[in-house]
Structure 1
Amino acid sequence: MSGVEAAKRLAARTAVDAFVKNGFKLGIGSGSTVVYAVERIAERARAENLQLTCVPSSFQARQLIIEHGLLLSDLERTPELDLAIDGADEVDEKLTLIKGGGGCLLQEKIVVNAAKEFVVVADYRKNSGALGQQWKKGVPIEVLPLAYRPVQKEIETRFGGTAKLRMAKAKAGPLVTDNGMFIIDWEFEESPTDGWTKIGMELNNIPGVVEHGLFIGCAKKAYFGNEDGTVSER
């Protein structure tokens, strides 16, 4: 296992051991680090006979839950969650996150919002003093396909930087989310001096924007696996 993968695994296992309790209703996020979290949840469920209910935020998360023999539910049957566990593309010193590099930001934010607590698991590369220091691909913004050009132009005019339509890798044309939407990646020039909360609210007020990948004021704690085998907490 590479150093990065070992760091992801360490962060995920540490968070699961610290937060997951018997009877919990869990929101399961997306991404490579969450794979290790689900692995550890399943290990503990078997070893300790834990009764857990898992709600996925993506097709990938759903498959992980099924493959590990955990009880699968959804937000219709389980609208209130005890804990959400998810990764992040970047975490700043105030626990503001950029998420959505994998394209699941809308579902992830809905699941996080349904949870009483939200814990982030990541490797050392995602640990940042300010957003944009480590993650260079911008803030993902999910938009209605018919609105992507006006939204691009308004973001660039209002906030500066560059708003790029995310293209698919295995087919010609734009990436299409699980919700049938497009994603614009807003590559901002610098962190706003008046904070991300105002930016997040203004982005949501642009007609055609479904949701953005700024997760503000929702994470309780973040665990970062380090190269030296330690875990940093924020």
Structure 2
Amino acid sequence: MATLTVEDAKKLAAYTAIDTHFPADAKVVGIGSGSTVVYCVDRIVEKKAKGEIPDGCVFIPTGFQSKELIINGGLNLGAIDGYPVLDVAFDGADEVDSDLNCIKGGGACLFQEKLVAICAKKFVLVADYRKNSEKLGAQWIQGVPIEVVPLAHAKVSADLKAMGALNVTLRLGGKAKAGPVITDNCNTIIDAHFGAIADPVELATKIKMLVGVVEVGLFIQMADAAYFGNENGSVTAKFNDGSVKLIE
């Protein structure tokens, strides 16, 4: 069997998750952010073309990227303040541990991602094999993304260092942007690397309590299932009851 590329592994995970968890009678569905979610939307558009998705189904974005995916896919666009209860939400992750806790926010959309996820009756993660980890921070060494009010970034950076962060960085824009990344909510992002995180629940709570922090990219005890596309063409599915299934 040929070894899959990372992109093919992402696509495999996304297609499997959509085929397994998209309700036949879905009314409201959340669409996350990131490169793997692109394939989720591709699959949804395919299913809609086949008449497998109700015409009235509304899709809720977690930021600019997913909003564009929904619009360009010809899907019905909604907003979380108009649809605070979702049947299911699909999203990517930067790293997922054995308890389905995950780090998110590599694309700077963590606040809206968490809002959509918490409003969903079912939250499903999709990723490639590189994101499948035993402990958070073991493989994703870029740090935990933290959305911070701009005025407080220096204070919060100092707080994080005092908490034991190995590296704290204010995320800057690309070559065409002078200054920090600005989120869809007009805030800044700090990435704080703590190494392998022994207790993500405790760390998430401590960071969230810091004055100036809007949201933390630690999604704790939120996911119902996670799908990882593997290099060999299989999919590893993990569930919040601790069970693991290999789909070949």
CA distance in 2, matches of 1:211, 1:115: 18
Deviations 1:173-211 (A, max 9, x none): 11111111010000113323xx11111111111000000
Indicate yes or no: 2:81 matched with 1:76: yes
SS in 2 for 1:232: strand
Read off the aligned partner of 2:97 and give its amino acid letter: D
CA spacing shift, 1:190–1:231, aligned 2, 3 Å? closer
Instruction: Look up the match of 1:185.
Output: 191
1:31-180 equivalence runs, <5 A: 31-51=34-54, 52-169=57-174, 170-180=176-186
CA distance in 2, matches of 1:165, 1:34: 26
- Cα deviation, residue 49, structure 1: 4.1
Give the alignment's Cα RMSD to 1 decimal: 1.3
Instruction: Look up the match of 2:241.
Output: none
Instruction: Look up the match of 2:30.
Output: 27
Deviations 1:45-68 (A, max 9, x none): 121342121000011101111111
SS in 2 for 1:81: coil
Q: Normalising by the residue count of structure 2, what TM-score does the alignment of the two structures yield?
A: 0.91
CA spacing shift, 1:23–1:71, aligned 2, 3 Å? farther
CA distance in 1, matches of 2:129, 2:163: 33
Read off the aligned partner of 2:189 and give its amino acid letter: I
SS in 2 for 1:48: coil
Instruction: Look up the match of 2:6.
Output: 4
CA distance in 1, matches of 2:88, 2:127: 17
Query: Where does the alignment leave 5 or more consecutive residues of structure 2 unmatched?
Result: 239-248
Deviations 1:61-85 (A, max 9, x none): 0111111111111112211001010
Q: Normalising by the residue count of structure 1, what TM-score does the alignment of the two structures yield?
A: 0.96
- Cα deviation, residue 139, structure 1: 0.1
Read off the aligned partner of 1:124 and give its amino acid letter: Y
Give the share of equivalent positions with the same residue, in percent: 49
- Cα deviation, residue 135, structure 1: 0.9
Query: Where does the alignment leave 5 or more consecutive residues of structure 1 unmatched?
Result: none
| Equivalent residues of 2:14, 2:40 under 8 A apart | yes
- Cα deviation, residue 220, structure 1: 0.5
CA distance in 2, matches of 1:212, 1:173: 21
